[in-house]
Amino acid sequence: MTQRAMTARPMTERAIPPATVARLPSYRRVLMDAADAGQRTIASGAIAEAVGVHPDQVRKDLSHLATRGTRGVGYDVRALIAETSSILGLDEERTVVLVGVGNLGRALAAYEGFAPQGFRLVAVLDVDDAVIGSEVGGLRVAHLDTLPQVARREQVEMGVVAVPGPAAQAVVDTMVAAGLRTVLNFAPVHVRVPDDVAVRRVDLSTELQMLSFLRSRMRRDG
Amino acid sequence: MTQRAMTARPMTERAIPPATVARLPSYRRVLMDAADAGQRTIASGAIAEAVGVHPDQVRKDLSHLATRGTRGVGYDVRALIAETSSILGLDEERTVVLVGVGNLGRALAAYEGFAPQGFRLVAVLDVDDAVIGSEVGGLRVAHLDTLPQVARREQVEMGVVAVPGPAAQAVVDTMVAAGLRTVLNFAPVHVRVPDDVAVRRVDLSTELQMLSFLRSRMRRDG
DNA sequence: TTCTGTGAACAGATTCACAGCA
DNA sequence: TGCTGTGAATCTGTTCACAGAA
């Protein structure tokens, strides 16, 4: 629909392929482990081994970054961490709001993986009076209606949707109206959003079903 | 490594592309909604609309199945549900074991999405004495050491890993040794498994980071 | 040597274009 | 006329092969 590839863009960054971006968080994690272990440089082969891809793939991916490796040695660990963090937007703090305080919502609110990557959960919302006012993940659950105020006050950028499927579209509409521009959707439905809003969906049921498919297939192969 | 494509295979099924399989669960959900609403047939455009893809894509995907649509009308809803279920291996019950009773593990155990798709959780395991013996998702938490017995007794096929990263590889090794052949890994690390075991990883942090990337990019585009 | 960087070959997935049946 | 089915064209991603710097 929109013509992106032809758009003039500052030379500093050259349209990193989505497939590469998807691997960057894994690379970054390995790099941070290496840094913790005191390593100053790391070879593509070592990253590849830890992440489970081909070394070729790692080098091709890293060739989209500005950081260059040195032949016979590898890449500078600190430089790569800095650049991947910057590309992924992890050098500035991102505020997150969570909607839906069921089992999954509660688990997400308590999830320890948010904070270390710079994601700060600033509000937990629901529409059910039974849970509003209770404490979840160190925050008091408020009514979904307060989202616009919270979003403005805290400059919230990301929304996490952990409500049942039928409620998801309405929640996302509310988020979009409140100015959120990225949404992580755990409901098992596709939601419609304007072009300038990004949505990613995580569906446990889909994952299980794909595994189930692989299982069926394997029994015949083996 | 293994040569699959050339393997002789019963004509009844012709190697469905992975990308298609990944969309099948979504199609199936839409079909079930349509069936609930009393619809007997459905057009590719309607499925596409609900799932958020091109109608062309839906038709190409469905062309890999045996069920054919009728021109000017659409596809038979019941027939498609039956065939997608069969392909995804959802016509037989799959037994699942969950390891790791942290926040996420508890949420997964209580997750209502397992049962309706034919996934039956038969055991919840951990290594922490503090949680062993407690009840989670209607099951009493047992020690990970009991996995081999449970796996044999219940013919367990799938394992869900909800333990911290550093513990994941050992847990998966135990699962593989106990005969499980598919693993859904929520730990943020790559785990090594033999060729005949399938692993899928779901990483919340990766999803957030990809959204964060999109957010950074959008601010410049818009 | 060892390990990077990249063009070229290849493979897979999506979109287009259109023929053809109800 | 509406919607399926599919070859062809295109696009995207992966793997190969190898030149070249430390």
Of B25, B103, B117, the CB nearest to A111: B103
Asked if residue B67 and residue B130 are part of one domain, the reply reads: no
CATH number of the domain to which A116 belongs: 3.40.50.720
Q: Is the pLDDT of residue B1 over 80?
A: no
A195 CA, D4 C1': Å apart: 30
Asked if residue A71 and residue A101 are part of one domain, the reply reads: no
When scoring A85, A156, A205 by the number of chain B Cβ atoms within 10 A, the one with the most, hence best to mutate, is A205
pLDDT per position as a tens digit, A139-187: 999 999 999 999 999 999 999 999 999 999 999 999 999 999 999 999 9
**pLDDT for the residue B184:** 98
Asked if residue A106 and residue A56 are part of one domain, the reply reads: no
Asked if residue B79 and residue B63 are part of one domain, the reply reads: yes
Asked if residue A183 and residue A110 are part of one domain, the reply reads: yes
CA-CA distance, B46 to B28, in Å (whole number)? 13
What share of chain B in percent tops pLDDT 70? 92
Give, for B195, the enclosing helix (H) or strand (E): none
Asked if residue B175 and residue B141 are part of one domain, the reply reads: yes
| A161 part of a folded domain | yes
Q: What is the pTM of this model?
A: 0.92
pLDDT band at B221 (very low <50, low <70, confident <90, very high): low
Asked if residue B65 and residue B50 are part of one domain, the reply reads: yes
CB A132 within 8 A of CB A126: yes
The number of distinct structural domains making up chain B is 2
CA-CA distance, B203 to A2, in Å (whole number)? 30
Chain C footprint positions (protein CB, under 7 Å)? 1-7, 12-17, 20-22
| B211 part of a folded domain | no
Asked if residue B106 and residue B82 are part of one domain, the reply reads: no
Q: Is the pLDDT of residue B169 over 60?
A: yes
Angle made by CA atoms A83, A85, A87, in degrees to the nearest 5: 70
**pLDDT for the residue A14:** 66
Choose the final residue of a domain: B87, B114, B133. Answer: B87
DSSP, res A196: T
| B197 part of a folded domain | yes
pLDDT per position as a tens digit, A55-108: 999 999 999 999 999 999 999 999 999 999 999 999 999 999 999 999 999 999
pLDDT band at A113 (very low <50, low <70, confident <90, very high): confident
User: Between residues 96 and 155 of chain A, which touch chain B (CB distance below 8 Å)?
Assistant: 96, 103-104, 106-108, 110-111, 113-114, 117, 119
Strands A41-42, A198-201: parallel, antiparallel or unpaired by DSSP?
A: unpaired
Choose the final residue of a domain: B87, B112, B131. Answer: B87
Selected residue with higher pLDDT from B79 and A10: B79
- Domain limits at B22? 18-87
Choose the final residue of a domain: B56, B87, B118. Answer: B87
Asked if residue B150 and residue B51 are part of one domain, the reply reads: no
Asked if residue A121 and residue A34 are part of one domain, the reply reads: no
Asked if residue A106 and residue A51 are part of one domain, the reply reads: no
Asked if residue B101 and residue B60 are part of one domain, the reply reads: no
